[in-house]
Amino acid sequence: MDRPRIEKDGRHRVYVDAYNSDQLLIRAQQRVADFVQQQTEFYLLTYAALDVRLCIETTLFEYIEIITSKKPGKRIGALWSAKDLKMEILKLEPDFFRKIEFMRVVNRWIVTPDLDRLCNLYGRFGVYLHRPKNPEQTWGNVEWWKGLLDVLREAILHLREIHSNPRAHINLNEKGQKLFRKFVSGELDSEQLKREFENAEVWPADS
């Protein structure tokens, strides 16, 4: 069978674009909605689980891009598990959560991602995305499918929170780093920080 090719006119571009994090989430939500309406085509939940799992990976990669302000290199690009991506995020930016808290002073709509929760959900999906060794207890058991639906709903809820709101810009210039240190030390309170933000450019010039 011939492999799909991206033609010069971009006819296969829709296939490639379908795997950005927003499209993955939209497609998963639609598949869950279709299943809830029909209550018969259980395979929709399996495909939704794959989309959500890929969305978690892609979302974590996007946080790495926010931190570094560039596409991941070969080493980081070879990572795929949520746990490894979470560890890389915290390795690249040990103050990841404090910096998001720092940004939330200015924009309260920024959502703090629950990295542990995303890793947990990622692992729970794995149970549903392998060949069932005991079909009568898995694919042939309605309760098993209900369990998958519960995991999907929990994951989609948090991913919607993340993707429906601005995400914090972690990469600060020298002025931004100085304000961050003052905020963490308590030298600046929230109101003082807001005033400082009004008069300072805190992002790198090329961001």
Looking at the structure of the chain, the number of domains it has is 1
Cβ-proximal residues to 137 (8 Å cutoff; 6+ apart), any chain? 144
pLDDT in tens, 173-194: 888 888 889 988 889 888 888 8
Question: Quick check: is 147 in a domain?
Answer: yes
Distance between CA 163 and CA 20 in Å, rounded? 12
1 confidence band (pLDDT: 50, 70, 90):
very low
pTM score: 0.84
Range of the domain at 123: 13-93+112-171
The first and second tokens of residue 20, run together, are 């950005």
Whose tokens are 């674009």? That residue is 17
Question: Quick check: is 194 in a domain?
Answer: no
pLDDT in tens, 106-135: 788 889 999 999 999 999 999 899 888 888
Cβ-proximal residues to 165 (8 Å cutoff; 6+ apart), any chain? 109, 110, 111
Q: What is the DSSP string of 102-143?
A: HHHTT-TTPPPP-HHHHHHHHHHHHTTSS--SSGGGTTT-HH
